[in-house]
Structure 1
Amino acid sequence: MLVNVSYNNKEITRKVDEEVGKPFPLKQRWALGGIGSPKLMITEASVEIRNLLILDNNLNSCNIEMRPRGIIVRFRSLLETYALVIPFYKLSIYKGDLAIYSIYRDHFFIKVRADTKAIQKFFKKLLDYKADNSPTSIEDL
């Protein structure tokens, strides 16, 4: 689900929380060693996301927030903030050549450069958390 999260809209907040869960409490954020990624440089994106990114001349960057049942990939275009909300059961992450990570949800995708150890460490933490907390059967959803 690709949504504009620039404004405090209760309906969009409810949908996001329904999809990936409410934000982690502070104690759990400490236990996880942080839930946000470093700044990620976007190298490629799906058509809908690319059309938003080309509206301005800024560097195309994003960040990822971990949630209990998924992730939120946030990026900016013009003065708006957009979020790609991905529950774990729809999340696919691939590591390609030249330290590029591809993040997929249905027909949306974002490819980011992982050129530092901090970014690679975050993706390892994300994949480990996904493996430990993904539903194992349809009843768990």
Structure 2
Amino acid sequence: MLVNVSYNNKELIRKIDEEVGKPFPLKDRWAMGGIGSPKLFITEASVEIRNLLILDNNLDSCNIEIRPKGVIVRFRSLLETFALVIPFYKLTLYKGDLAVYSIYRDHHFIKVRSDTKAVQKFFKKLMDYKADTAPTHIDDL
């Protein structure tokens, strides 16, 4: 779900929390070594996201927040903040050969550079967390 999160909308916050869970408590954030990514530079994006990013002349960047049941990819365009909300069961990650990670949800995607060790470490943490929280039986869904 691609949404504008610039304004405090309780109904939208409820929908996001329903889809990917409420934010981690501070104690869990410390235990995980942080839940946010470093600044990620966007190299390519799906048409809908690209149309938002080309509205201004700023460098295209985003960040990722890990939630209990998914991730939120946030980016800015003009003075608005947009979020791509992705539950783990719809999240697909690919590591390209040219130091690029691709993040997919249905028909939306964002490709980011992974040119630093911090970015690679974050994606490893994300993949490990996704694997640890994945349901092991069909009954767990």
TM-score by length of 2: 0.98
1:40 and 1:62 in contact (8 A); partners too: yes
- Any idea what SS the aligned residue of 1:23 has? coil
Query: Which one-letter code corresponds to 1:85 in the other structure?
Result: V
Q: Alpha-carbon deviations, 1:90-140, whole Å to 9, x = none? A: 000000021100000000000000000000000000000000002234432
**Structure 2 residues not aligned, in runs of 5+:** none
Q: Alpha-carbon deviations, 1:51-107, whole Å to 9, x = none? A: 000000000000000000000000000000000000000000000021100000000
- Any idea what SS the aligned residue of 2:98 has? helix
1:89 and 1:135 in contact (8 A); partners too: no
Aligned residues: 141
Corresponding position: 1:24 with 2:27? no
Distance 1:136 1:71 in 2: 20
Structure 2 counterparts to residues 20-99 of structure 1, below 5 A: 20-99=20-99
Mark the CA change 1:138 to 1:16 in structure 2 (over 3 Å): closer, same or farther: farther
Distance 1:23 1:136 in 2: 23
Query: Which one-letter code corresponds to 1:91 in the other structure?
Result: L
Distance 2:99 2:5 in 1: 29
- Any idea what SS the aligned residue of 2:115 has? coil
TM-score by length of 1: 0.98
* Residue 107 (structure 2) aligns with: 107
Mark the CA change 1:8 to 1:138 in structure 2 (over 3 Å): closer, same or farther: farther
- Any idea what SS the aligned residue of 1:43 has? strand
**Structure 1 residues not aligned, in runs of 5+:** none
* Residue 117 (structure 1) aligns with: 117
Distance 1:97 1:61 in 2: 20
Distance 2:103 2:84 in 1: 10
